[in-house]
């Protein structure tokens, strides 16, 4: 139990330390890239009439797996880039590599912004496409 508590404390200390120092730019780069993918896919969803992404994952168990697979496929490059950056950071700053920390960081920085923003962007795009267009 003591080792578990030590690992949790180390994880949060390391996580806070990642926001400053070398390679801190990735805290802006990776979520921005995920947001761009969410915009691309959210607009595509709005044009095809699909329901918002996160809503589909939560409320449609029959399509949950396919939807998650689609999201991972859309963010694969970002996830791989995040993993490479995390490996470099951990070896350079910490002198070691912690797999679970790396997985948590890349999910938080790369996939979570995509997951949370694709649906609202879909709704915003639907509103934008549905509004009356004025002609001069």
Determine, yes or no, domain membership for 11.
no
pLDDT of residue 17: 66
Q: Is 94 exposed, middle or buried (0-12, 13-18, 19+ CB in 10 A)?
A: middle
| Per-position b or e across 38-77, b if 16+ CB within 10 A of its CB | bbebbbebbeeeeebbbebbeeeeeeeeebeeebeebbee
How many whole angstroms separate alpha carbon 53 and alpha carbon 126?
Answer: 13
d(CA 119, CA 55): 7
pLDDT for 74: 87
Count: domains in the chain: 1
pLDDT at 14: 67
% of the chain surpassing 90 pLDDT: 26
pLDDT range class, residue 2, cuts 50, 70, 90: confident
Q: How confident is the model at residue 39, as a pLDDT?
A: 95
Average pLDDT along the chain = 85
Q: Residue 20: inside a domain, yes or no?
A: no
Domain of residue 76: give its range.
Answer: 25-125
pLDDT at position 53 is: 86
50 domain-assigned: yes
The sign of the dihedral angle between the CA atoms of 25, 26, 31, 37 is positive
Quick: pLDDT tens for 36-78: 999 999 999 999 998 888 888 888 889 889 988 988 888 898 8
């Amino acid at each position: 139990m003591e080792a578990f508590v030590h690992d949790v404390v180390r994880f949060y200390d390391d996580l806070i330390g990642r926001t400053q120092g070398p390679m801190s730019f990735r805290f802006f780069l990776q979520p921005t890239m995920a947001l761009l993918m969410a915009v691309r896919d959210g607009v595509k969803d709005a044009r095809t009439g699909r329901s918002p992404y996160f809503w589909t994952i939560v409320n449609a168990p029959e399509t949950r797996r396919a939807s998650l697979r689609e999201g991972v496929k859309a963010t694969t490059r970002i996830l791989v880039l995040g993993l490479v950056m995390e490996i470099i950071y951990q070896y350079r700053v910490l002198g070691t590599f912690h797999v679970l920390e790396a997985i948590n960081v890349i999910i938080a920085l790369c996939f979570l912004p995509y997951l949370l923003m694709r649906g609202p962007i879909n709704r915003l795009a639907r509103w934008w496409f549905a509004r009356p267009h004025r002609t001069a």
